[in-house]
Each structure stands twice: as C-alpha cells, then as structure tokens.
Structure 1
Amino acid sequence: MPLSIDRLKTLLQEDIQDLTRLSEILNKERTALKERSNAAIQELAIDKSTCIKSIEHRAKAKALLFVDAGYQIKKGEFEKVIAEIPDESLQSLWRKVNVGLRFCQDQNTINGKVVSHSLKRVNKLMDIVRGQSNKPNLYGSSGKESTIGGLNSIAKA
C-alpha cells in the first residue's frame, strides 16, 4: 500500500499546531518557575502533559502510515522517504515539525535547569538548617554531587 501523503500532511499540520501550543506552555512555565507560582506550575504541567501525549499519539500514527506502506522503523528511514517524495509542501511541513520539536526540547531543557538550580538552592538551605558542614561537594559514580564528611549536630535527643 502506498504512503498516504495527504494523511501524513494532516498529521504534520496538527503537530505544528500542538508544537506552537507547547512552546507557549513552556514559555509560561518558565515565567511561573521564575515567579515560583506553584498553582500555575501545576496547571501548566497538566497542559504540557496533554499536549505531549497528543504529539506522541500522532507520532505513532505517522509510524503506522510508514509501516503500512512497507517501510521499516529505523533511524533516518522516514527522513529518507520524505526527501525522495517530490512534494515540497510535505518536505516543508516535515522540516517545520522537526524544527519545532528541537525548539520545544531546548525550552524544556532550560526549564529543567531552572528547576534543578532551585532544588540545589533549597537543598543547600536545608543543609544549613540541619547543621551539615560546608564540606566541598564531590561527584560520585552516578554523576551527582555528594558531600563527603560528617554532620555537625546542633543537639542530641
């Protein structure tokens, strides 16, 4: 069965709409993280999850179109097939989706770093409250920081 180009175009156009929406959500999430607005962060997490699930569902539908047309699911296979189809609008949609995916991934990585830095600040403050010493942090075998040394307790029960 030949590849359904019209159906693929429709799925790609829907991807572009959702990726635009996801980008907006990620921008709002970054603002909410900076403002430490927990209610907004939780609401945006739900919106982000819904949007991502929709994109993932369409990714499966696109893969099924390729499989039904006799192509294998291997890295780079879909790009080769798209490049060989003499349809500029299809190729343009494919490029826009890939650019949008990378852009959203970069935005999400930045938001993750903001969360990570906030968590480190909270952990350092908690260390101070717990009375832990300010020994230097070293990286362990898992790649995470850990403090080497003992604890300074304020009181014993």
Structure 2
Amino acid sequence: MSKVGLVYLLIISTVYLFLAARDRQKTGQSLRVAGKSLLKLVPLLIAVFGLVGLFQEFLPPELVTEWLGESSGLLGLLIGASAGAVAIGPPLAAYPLAGSLLDAGAWPPAVAAFIVSWISVGIVTLPFEAQTFGSRFALLRNLISFVAAMVGGLLLGMLL
C-alpha cells in the first residue's frame, strides 16, 4: 500500500471512530453506503487493472515511445488527447492506464492530454449531450475541452 493510501485510510478511520462516538447509527449507515459503493466499483477496478496488465504486456514500449514519446511532438500530443477523447469510463480508470503509458516511455505532456481529455471530452457520449444541450453547445464544449487538454499537456511539459 502506498504512503498516501495509508494516510487516507488512517484519516478516514479516525473520522469514523470520532463520529461513531457521537452517533453509532449514522456511522453504521455510512459504512453500509460505503460498502455498497465499494461493491459496485469492484468489477470496474478488476477491469481497469486487467486492462493495465494487457497494456503492459501486449503494447510494446517501442510503439508507445514512437506514438506518444517525446520525439512524437505535437502528433503525440494529438494522439494522447484523441485516445482520451474516445475512451469511456470514470476518471478513476484513466490514472492506472496513464501510469502504464508513462512507464512505457510516453511523453508526460501527451499523457496529461490523455487524462484531461478523458475527463473533459466525450466523443462517445456526444449524441446524448447534443440531445440534452443542443448540438452547437455539445460540439463547442467538446472542441474547447479538447484544445484545452492539449494546451494543458503542453503547459505541463514546460513546467516539468
């Protein structure tokens, strides 16, 4: 377990102990809600870590370096942002995949664009967004978010 994870666990455990002393019933209800949430997430977590394993074993690092490495430049940034834009799933899934890409030699700005694009651009969900908010709004929001993901990746590159 990472140090950060251990610190979070200790903080949350301390809060639960404190709140249990104040109201056992609400604390118990809170633990039941947390348990149900965890059970809903388990299949997703297994799938995400399975996908990370597939990436690490079947995606050659040379290919990652060629497509997303520093020498790929703006094309790598575009590929990273595009991959994030078509990906679907909760942001939680993006981080382990991004870590695998970094380990395989991807350029950090391309990985940052991948993460930001995953979170803010929704190519797969675009039809639903357009139906709800209108086509013009949905297309503009996604375009601006895509450009922002690439600019954010470049800014990260300048800061590192």
Shorter-chain TM-score above 0.5:
no
More helix by share: 2
Based on CA coordinates, which of the two structures has the bigger radius of gyration? 1
Give the TM-score taking structure 1 as reference length.
0.26
- TM-score by length of structure 2 reads 0.26
